[in-house]
Amino acid sequence: MDFSIASYSFHRLLRDGRQDMFRYIQDCKDLGCAWLDPWNGHLEPLIAESEALKAAGALTETFSAAGLAYVAQVRAAADAAGLPFACLAVDGAHLYDPVPQQRRVLRAAAYRWLEVAVRLGAAQLRIDTGGTEDLPAEQFDIIVEGYHDLIARARPHHLHIVLENHWGASRRAANVVRILQAVPALGLLFDSNNFIPEEQEASWHLCAPFARAVHIKTFAFDADGNDPTVDIPQVVRLLVQHGYQGCWGIESVPRDGDEYGAVTKTMALIRRALATA
């Protein structure tokens, strides 16, 4: 089985200056990962540049020469470690915003990150839906158009666009399925936790058949190494039953703050769950 670690699992280390993108790559190698699974927050120079462009209302579709040189350095470090990029998860480039001009600014940001994903050789790029949980027709149409647009841009580069049940409209599983059915070339990054809480188990059943990548999310561990807050073995069983054969992505957000410890415990938990799935 192959593992990856969503770099958000280390967001506190990043915040405290104890990890950057290059340390993340080395940590993934040391922890036995087969793939890299970065969140764009770890690409700090690019985040700073993109946020400045968005604040200025710029429609620039590519990063600066300095930004692209940084991307080349990241790619070189990953190549040296022998780790390919799985999914680049992007915040701050979602498809729906109620203000048309802001939608154009966000679309330009999505184009910038698409180029980064291509330059990194990533297999997938996660772009969020935006919108609201009730997902009225206007939002739905804009989101669907946006994914069609990004897929057309990504296709020549063999880059797969995926949505994640993350926030906004995508927290409701029925919305996720509705969008996926409207955009057949779109994939799902299945997160085990981000559904509406009271709909979580039903959402697992509804969305597991569409999973093309996963983030198995953990929060705490008991003495037996299980997370008492969520039934991870059930999630794993459902994914396996529906034919999921991809990389097992870990996105641990430990309440005790031990980010390295949570990653290794989650990896062990997934191994046990797969052994009985």
With respect to residue 128, please indicate whether it lies within any of the assigned structural domains: yes
pLDDT score of 169: 98
Mean local confidence (pLDDT), 237-253: 97
Question: Which residue range is the domain that position 187 belongs to?
Answer: 3-208
Confidence of residue 175 (pLDDT cuts 50, 70, 90): very high
Domain presence at residue 236: no
Give domain status of residue 219, yes or no: no
Separation of alpha carbons 40 and 164, rounded Å: 14
Q: pLDDT class for 111, splitting at 50, 70, 90?
A: very high
Q: pLDDT (tens digit, 9 = 90+) per residue, 143-157?
A: 999 999 999 999 999
Query: Over pLDDT 70: what percentage of the chain?
Result: 100
- pLDDT at residue 102, rounded to an integer: 98
Give the pLDDT confidence of 71-83 residue by residue, as tens digits: 999 999 999 999 9
pLDDT tens digit sequence for 49-59: 999 999 999 99
The yes-or-no verdict on residue 140 having pLDDT over 90 is yes
Average pLDDT over residues 123-139: 98
Residue 174 CA: distances (Å) to CA of 53, 200, 209, 233: 34, 12, 13, 23
Confidence of residue 158 (pLDDT cuts 50, 70, 90): very high
Average pLDDT over residues 260-272: 98
Question: How many whole angstroms from its chain centre is CA 147?
Answer: 15
Query: Phi and psi for 69 in degrees, rounded to 5?
Result: -65, -35
Is 41 part of a structural domain of the chain? yes
Q: Report the pLDDT value the prediction gives residue 212, as an integer from 0 to 100.
A: 98
Looking at residue 1, its pLDDT comes to 86
Average pLDDT over residues 22-36: 98
Amino acid at 102: Q
The whole-number pLDDT of residue 266 equals: 98
78 within domain boundaries = yes
Q: Cα–Cα distance between 155 and 160 in angstroms, integer?
A: 7
Asked if residue 261 belongs to a domain, the reply is no
**Domain contains 74:** yes
Q: What is the CATH number of the domain that holds 177?
A: 3.20.20.150
Q: Of 173, 241, 250, 176, which Cα lies nearest the Cα of 219?
A: 250
User: CA–CA separation, 24 vs 178, rounded Å?
Assistant: 35
Check pLDDT > 90 for residue 207.
yes
Q: What is the 3-state secondary structure (H, E, C) of the chain?
A: CCEEEEHHHHHHHHHCCCCCHHHHHHHHHHCCCCCEECEHHHCHHHHHHHHHHHHCCCCCCCCCHHHHHHHHHHHHHHHHHCCCECEEECCCCCCECCCHHHHHHHHHHHHHHHHHHHHHCCCEEECCCECCCCCCHHHHHHHHHHHHHHHHHHHHHCCEEEEECCCHHHHCHHHHHHHHHHCCCCEEEEECCCCCHHHHHHHHHHHHHHEEEEEEEECCCCCCCCCCCCCHHHHHHHHHHCCCCCCEEEEECCCCCCHHHHHHHHHHHHHHHHHHC
The size of the chain, in residues, is 277
Average pLDDT of the chain to the nearest whole number = 98
**Domains held by the chain: number:** 1
Q: Answer yes or no: pTM beyond 0.95.
A: yes
